[in-house]
Structure formats: C-alpha cells, structure tokens
Homo-oligomer: A and B are copies of this chain.
Amino acid sequence: MRHAFSKLILLSCCILFSPYLFTQTDSSPGFGENLSNEQFQLEKQFDDMLRAGNIRDWMKRLAARPQHLGSPYRKENAEFIRAQFQEWGFDARIETFDVLFPTPKIRILEMAEPVSFRASLDFPSLKNGPAQAKREEILPSYNAYSIDGDVTAPLVYVNYGTMEDYAELERLGIDVKGMIVIARYGGCYRGIKPKIAAEKGAWGCIIYADPLAAGYGQGDVYPEGPFLPEFDTERGSVLDISLAPGDPLTPGLGAVKNVKRISRSEAQTLTRIPTLPISYGDALPLLRALKGPVAPPRWRGGLPVTYHIGAGPAKVHLKLEFSWDLVPAFNVIARINGKERPDEWIIRGNHADGWVAGANDPISGLVSMMEEARAVGGLMKSGWKPKRTIIYCAWDAEEQGIIGSTEWVEAHAAELLEKGVVYINTDSNGRGFIGAGGSPVLEAFFNQAAADVADPQSGVSIAKRAYARSLARGGDPGTMEISLSPLGSGSDFTAFYQHLGIASLNLGFSGESSGGVGHSIFDTFEYYSRFGDPKFEYGVALAKVGGRMMLRLADADLLPFDFQRFAAHLEQYLRELKEMTDKMRQETEKENRYVKEGIYRLAADPLEKRILPGIQESVPAFDFSPLESALNKIKANSGLFFQAWKSFQSSQKVISLERKQELDRAMFQAERSLLRQEGLPRRPWFKNYIDAPGFYTGYGAKTLPGIREAMENRNWQEAKEQIRLTAEVLERYAAAVQKAIAALNEAGK
C-alpha cells in the first residue's frame, strides 16, 4: 500500500542493531545453536526446492495486466493463486468480501488565473506499461476515497501537508481556509494530507510526486533508469487508515454479504475534501503560478521554479466525481492443519492486488511467498506435517486501505484471538539488505532465522550483511543483532497486530533496488527485471527467511517467544518518552524566556511577515512511576521466565501435549494483554498500547502511543490519564508473563 520503494527504504532505515547484550546461543527459547539435526535437515530439504525461475514466471504472469481490486484480472489472479496452493497440497479457498471502492467518473483540474491551464491527468503512452494492458483497463491516476466535489479556490503550497508544515504556515501568517492546497508526496501517509488540510479548513487537496524525491532528482527516469517520468504519478488510497483501516462501510466487522453497512455519509474514514494526485508535469505550471512568500529551504523540491507558498494568484478548479460501487475482494486463504496443535495458527501473508500491474508492489513479495508455500507443500508431499496449523494468505484490496486482511481479521476476530499465534507479513521485496519490524518477543527468533540464510550476492548470512551495512554507514558496532523496529501501519500486519494483539513480523529486502514508480503504470515485470531483483535471488532469500520462520514456528516444541526482548524495548520506549517530555519542558521554558526577553523579535527580519512565537503553557511534571513499576515487574518476570525456560530445557523432561499447549497459550496470549479493548483515544479500532501508527503520520509508528500523542498535542490532562491506562496494560502484561512462568513451572514438575 505504501509507495513501493519508499516502503523498502523505510524498512532498511529501520535496521538498528540491538544494544542488548544477548548472544544467540542462550538468548531465547528457539533455534539458535540448539537447532536440531532433524530441523536442519528439514530446512535443507526446503531450501533445495526453491527456484528463482518460478518466482520470475509467476511475476510475469500475475503482472501482465492491471489487477487492481475489482478488475477482471484480479479475479483471474486470485483463482490462479488458489489453484496453485491447491496443487501444492493446501486447503485453499477464496474468501470474498464486498467492499466500497470508488473509481473516477470525472476528474478535472484546471487553472483560470493567472494563466489558463488544464492538467492532462494522463500518461501519454502505454509503451512502458504492463505488457498486455489495454488503456481502458488501467485506473487513471486518482486517490481512492476522496469524496466527490467541485471547488474553485486559490492555491496554496503546503510542502508535505504535515502538522509541522501547517505550524510553519501559521508562523508565516498563511491560512488555508477556503483554499485548495497542493502538497508533495512524502513526510506521511498520503491520506494524512487531505485529513489535516480539511481540519485546517481547506476546500480541496492536490498531491503530486516531486521530481526531487521520485523523479530526475534521484536518477534517470524510466525507461532509462528506475525513477518516475514527467507524466503518470502515484495512485493511492487516502482512506484515513490511522483512524481505522478496512472497508469504510463496515467498521469493526467483516464485510460479508449481509453484514449491516453504514451509509457513505456516516463513514468516518473517507476524506472530507476532494483530493487528487497529479504528475510533476502537471504540477509545474501550478507551482510556477504561485506568488507569496518563498517556501522555506526544506520545502523546496526539484522543479525548475522558485517554490512559493501563495495563496494564489493561481486559482484552480477541482472537480471530482466517483462511481461508488461495492466490489468483491478476493482473499486467497490456504491452510494446512497442524497434526498436533491444530488450534495454534501460524499465519503468513502478502497482498496480491496492485494499483496497476503491481510487479514490485506487491507481486515481488507475493511470488516469493508462493515459492515458499510451494516448498512447504513439497515437504508435505515427502511426508512431513506441521505440528501447528499453517495459513498462507494472498490478500486483496490492500492498496485501498489494507482492506482484504482487515475484513478477514474482523470476520474471524473471535477465532483469531483464540488461536492466532504469529502473523508474518511481507510486501514488496527487492535487492539488498534484510530489514524487519515487529513484536519484540520475536526479535531473537527472527535474528536466529536471519543468521541461517545466506545473502545471494555475498554468501555471508543476511544478518551479517545487514550488520556490515550498518557499520559502513557509521552505525555503532554493538552486537550483531537486528533490532526490530516498532510496527506502525501501511501493510497487512496492521489488523493482526494493532487490532487483535497477535505477535507480528514484517520483513523484506531493500536498499539496492531504488526506484520511484510505485503505483504507476511503470511498475511492471519488465521494470522489476531490470531494477528490482533481476535474478530473483532475493525472492528466493525471502522465501528462505519466511519459510524457515514458518517451519520453526510450526514445529517448535515450545513457542520461541522471548519476553526479555519485550522488556528491553519497553525500557527504551519509556526512556525515550521521558527524554521527549524533559526536552519539551526545557524547550518550552527556554522559548518562553526568549519570548519575554524579546529575542525572537530582535532576531526577526522586520521586512518579513512572520508571526512571532507567544508564551506557551509550561510542561508540568509527570509521575511516570506507575509505568516504571510495571516495567520493573516485566523485567523481573521475563528474567524469571527465561531462567525457568533454561532449566526446563536442560531437564529434557517429557511432558504431555496438554501441558505444552497450555504453555504455548500462556506465551502467545500474553501479547493480547497489550490491548485495551476501548482502544486509543479517538480511535477505538487501534487497541495496541505499545505501538500504533501516528494519528497524523499514518504509517510511521509511535511507541506508547496513548501517552506520546497526548504529549505531542500538549494535552497534559490526557497524558496523565494515558500514563495510568498504559500502566494498567503493562501490569496485565507482567501478570501474563507471571502466568507463563507458572505454566512452565507446572510443566517442569
């Protein structure tokens, strides 16, 4: 769903090496040097089955035509995927949901003043698009879930359109009320741009991909190079996914046939103002026609104009009308029931739908997952069966707002809460370095898998190569462990992790396959074969990591959850929160002093119009002790659990399946205690109190989000209340770990 390559880059930026002094051998329940010979042989057999050729061929087939939600080829692809899974021995079905999906009827963007211009809103040629596409099959560039609208107003340039950008506009004395804003892609999820613009009173929102970030400013444009040409642009949803992802008419419920739907006017996650993405070719005349203050340096892009903010004199007319249809979303769900613990589900997913052909986003990840599943099927054919249930999912409608996976999770919530052990997500994949985010309890487990997979280009482990890159870029040596970054949103882990509290991972390779054509007609097999992963060897590597983790999770005698990692991450999040608060307090004091002393007035250029800062409310002292107390319990308990686990392991005691299941359950259910059923303030769908996408970032994670966002909004009362609620959540988690210790002790008797 995220712009294809920016997601990859994000993942790769998130590679931080863990400061915790664990070593692999004794860090964690799991598979470090304790990998059994049996498991080793199984994984070798698995690896030997993987073929880059399959990955390549499936991409070529699946990305041959536009295959967005509701398109004929999407249905064909879903059926093809199902058939493959069936052939490999899975119980594979298509689960269909009927979801709201607007497609454009009218798109007009024109400027009457100071010069006349009508945006083409079109790509000139299909030549570099999907191999078998017809023009009429391709969705034109638009932002799904923009409302219909017809507005004429002066234009204002708002940079990325983030809260920080509007704060800068305020300082410049510029109000966007009654204006149409133009924002460049970047800085936040695109749906945040119309959300904030509407809150600020704007009437319309235009989004464009600036060539500095996506086009010639990064490198040669397609077909010479991998970057975005002058015409066509990033399509994309503007559904308010930080309020709630999924079908906007069935919030909290699976969008099955006869579920009760709210009306479109009741839907909370559509935009409030008409919104349209345009190419940088179309943006140039609009930006050139702006006057008013020159944009601050960091707001300037790569077009050959002076970036002005406006408002006006450019006056634009934006007219949008959509066909608001219910369309079927086809999730392929393929299952192998566990032979021993069928009610423990290990779930793996990647979406299948693209905005056009979607070769990179998401087919590159999907086809790797398919090859992984084919090899799992191969193991089954040779007699192996998993202890736990394995479920592979090829989601639909991710691009529209993570809809396919969200509807499935909502439809099966009760059963998933009961049985969901782990969800492992992938999305676009490329050449380069492994990067991962996810639940800290899985960190050691993930690192063990990453240490056992060879990098296709260098031959060392993918973990070592990622570590080398971190060092070469000035990173701290520390340990060789990859620290999992916190999960925000932007792909199909969201509902599993944020809504249900199922331990999740999100991973992929990136860093050597840059590009800027995500969600455009250029994201094709031909493109990916040149600029993505030309040998499809990182597709194989991803199958090796993903498959390894699926096999280990499916067959582990006990689940490889490490609560100590959670404690360590939590300690860091809490430290960061306190540092942020202290810094805000000091900054506020300093700024207030400067205001009183006239420093800002003296430093300002009197010929420039600029609103000087005023006195801000001081940051009060906060009592963080309930959080610290809960953290200390979690630290103590997770340590005790680890000790108990070690002695349990060394005892080599044979215990009953029932005890094992109890112990597994105590472990994976602990993650549920991180939810608050009432959800986060103003967004009850988001129940996870450890991390969430920012309310005004959309993708980017905020840790301890209840407290953090209250602080950021300078809502001290809410911050205090959220400290209390978060501490309650953490106390429950401490108790859940306590319960796991008890289960372990019980089993060890």
Q: Please report A residues at the B interface, Cβ cutoff 8 Å.
A: 211, 216-221, 225, 227, 294, 300, 302-306, 431-432, 455, 457-458, 460, 464-465, 468-469, 471-473, 512, 594, 598-607
Known: A602-B460, A606-B457. A216 touches B306 (CB 8 A): yes
Rounded to whole Å, the gap between the CB of A195 and the closest CB of chain B is 30
Contacts of A221 in B (CB 8 A): 306
In the docked arrangement, what's the CA distance between A457 and B601, Å? 11
Contacts of A220 in B (CB 8 A): 294, 306
In the docked arrangement, what's the CA distance between A313 and B7, Å? 35
Contacts of A294 in B (CB 8 A): 219-220, 225
Contacts of A472 in B (CB 8 A): 594, 599-600, 602-604
A603 touches B469 (CB 8 A): yes
A602 touches B219 (CB 8 A): no
* Additional 16 contacts, C-beta under 8 A, given A219-B294, A469-B602, A472-B599: A216-B304, A216-B306, A217-B306, A219-B306, A225-B306, A227-B306, A304-B304, A431-B607, A458-B602, A464-B602, A468-B598, A468-B599, A468-B603, A471-B599, A472-B594, A472-B604
Known: A469-B602, A594-B471. A303 touches B304 (CB 8 A): yes
A471 touches B603 (CB 8 A): yes
Contacts of A465 in B (CB 8 A): 602-603
In the docked arrangement, what's the CA distance between A216 and B594, Å? 34
In this complex, what residue of B is CB-closest to A306?
A: B216
Contacts of A512 in B (CB 8 A): 605, 607
In the docked arrangement, what's the CA distance between A596 and B115, Å? 62
Top 9 A-B residue pairs of the complex, sorted by shortest distance between their CB atoms = A468-B602, A472-B603, A469-B603, A304-B304, A468-B603, A216-B306, A219-B294, A468-B599, A512-B605
In this complex, what residue of B is CB-closest to A303?
A: B304
B216 touches A305 (CB 8 A): yes
Contacts of A227 in B (CB 8 A): 306
Contacts of A598 in B (CB 8 A): 468
In the docked arrangement, what's the CA distance between A627 and B458, Å? 49
DSSP class of A's interface residues: helix, strand, loop or mixed? loop
In the docked arrangement, what's the CA distance between A227 and B458, Å? 49
Contacts of A600 in B (CB 8 A): 468, 472
In the docked arrangement, what's the CA distance between A218 and B306, Å? 7
> Which of A471, A472, A599, A602 gathers the greatest number of chain B CB atoms within 10 Å?
A602
In the docked arrangement, what's the CA distance between A452 and B624, Å? 50
Rounded to whole Å, the gap between the CB of A582 and the closest CB of chain B is 17
Contacts of A602 in B (CB 8 A): 455, 458, 460, 464-465, 468-469, 472
In the docked arrangement, what's the CA distance between A305 and B218, Å? 10
Contacts of A225 in B (CB 8 A): 294, 306
Rounded to whole Å, the gap between the CB of A396 and the closest CB of chain B is 34
In the docked arrangement, what's the CA distance between A306 and B514, Å? 15
Contacts of A218 in B (CB 8 A): 306
Rounded to whole Å, the gap between the CB of A709 and the closest CB of chain B is 26
In the docked arrangement, what's the CA distance between A465 and B512, Å? 49
Rounded to whole Å, the gap between the CB of A31 and the closest CB of chain B is 24
28 A-B pairs within 8 Å (CB atoms) are namely A216-B304, A217-B300, A218-B306, A219-B294, A219-B306, A220-B294, A225-B294, A227-B306, A302-B304, A304-B304, A431-B607, A432-B605, A455-B602, A458-B601, A458-B602, A460-B602, A464-B602, A465-B602, A465-B603, A468-B598, A468-B603, A469-B602, A469-B603, A471-B594, A471-B599, A471-B603, A472-B599, A472-B602
In this complex, what residue of B is CB-closest to A458?
A: B602
In this complex, what residue of B is CB-closest to A225?
A: B306
In the docked arrangement, what's the CA distance between A458 and B305, Å? 34
In the docked arrangement, what's the CA distance between A303 and B471, Å? 34
Contacts of A471 in B (CB 8 A): 594, 599, 603
Rounded to whole Å, the gap between the CB of A722 and the closest CB of chain B is 30
A603 touches B473 (CB 8 A): yes
Rounded to whole Å, the gap between the CB of A435 and the closest CB of chain B is 14
In the docked arrangement, what's the CA distance between A582 and B603, Å? 37
In the docked arrangement, what's the CA distance between A562 and B502, Å? 70
In the docked arrangement, what's the CA distance between A216 and B605, Å? 21
Contacts of A601 in B (CB 8 A): 458
In this complex, what residue of B is CB-closest to A457?
A: B606
In the docked arrangement, what's the CA distance between A431 and B602, Å? 14
Contacts of A604 in B (CB 8 A): 472
Contacts of A300 in B (CB 8 A): 217
In the docked arrangement, what's the CA distance between A607 and B473, Å? 18
In the docked arrangement, what's the CA distance between A527 and B136, Å? 55
In the docked arrangement, what's the CA distance between A601 and B599, Å? 51
Rounded to whole Å, the gap between the CB of A729 and the closest CB of chain B is 37
Contacts of A605 in B (CB 8 A): 432, 512
In the docked arrangement, what's the CA distance between A628 and B362, Å? 64
Contacts of A594 in B (CB 8 A): 471-472
Contacts of A432 in B (CB 8 A): 605
In the docked arrangement, what's the CA distance between A306 and B604, Å? 37
In this complex, what residue of B is CB-closest to A603?
A: B472
Rounded to whole Å, the gap between the CB of A225 and the closest CB of chain B is 7
In this complex, what residue of B is CB-closest to A432?
A: B605
Rounded to whole Å, the gap between the CB of A318 and the closest CB of chain B is 26
Contacts of A219 in B (CB 8 A): 294, 306
In the docked arrangement, what's the CA distance between A601 and B432, Å? 13
